[in-house]
A and B are shown apart, each in its own frame.
Chain A
């Protein structure tokens, strides 16, 4: 069956360090993958999109990698700040562009 897995346990890191979140998937061949940020009680907000033919994408302190052989994406936040504390969701495109399948998300807590 198709499955998307993100670290279920919260990730706790110290301010200034790099946070690395993992998204693994099975039985998909996604055309692209997206990462979203969700704060408690609010809707997700788009962060980055990476296509199947791209290995890496950067935006300010954010970096995403996409390894279609390993069926894995890594999401990095460098020089993390307490304001980065949130739940981060990965989502795969399936059925062309029409639908996204979301992982359960990983909660990140950055401590001062």
Chain B
């Protein structure tokens, strides 16, 4: 089945720890995105990548890092510099042009 997967579904982190969220797609899409969703707020863009080995900061990139070494994979690291990391994280991909974004099921990160 074609799709986009995220793991884990739930993640708990102690303060001061870095944690990496996985995002994989087998849709052969060039562009991939990471969003953060907080209650009562819209999705906010963290990072996006239009092509392998290239990525750009979104609106709230501070405290996050990404890599795009393979077309299929776009992992997000939440670093200890992110002051309020507890949120629902969504990964998405897009084929190209004015096309839709396909979202993964999300990872809920809780900092203890």
Residue numbers of A with Cβ under 8 A of B are 4, 8, 31-32, 34, 41-46, 49, 51, 89, 93, 97-105
Contacts and interface: CB of A to CB of B under 8 A. Distances in A.
A49 B103 CA distance: 16
A21 B42 CA distance: 16
Which of the four size classes fits the interface of chain B? 20 to 34
A49 B95 CA distance: 15
Contact of B101 (A51, A100, A104, A105): A100
Interface string B19-46: 0000000000001000100001111110
Contacts of B88: 41
B101 A49 contact: no
A46 B42 contact: no
A41 B106 contact: yes
B85 interface: no
Contact of B103 (A32, A43, A51, A105): A43
A98 B50 contact: yes
Interface in B73-112: 88, 90, 92, 94, 96-106, 108
Contact of B99 (A97, A101, A105): A97
Contact of B98 (A32, A42, A45, A89): A32
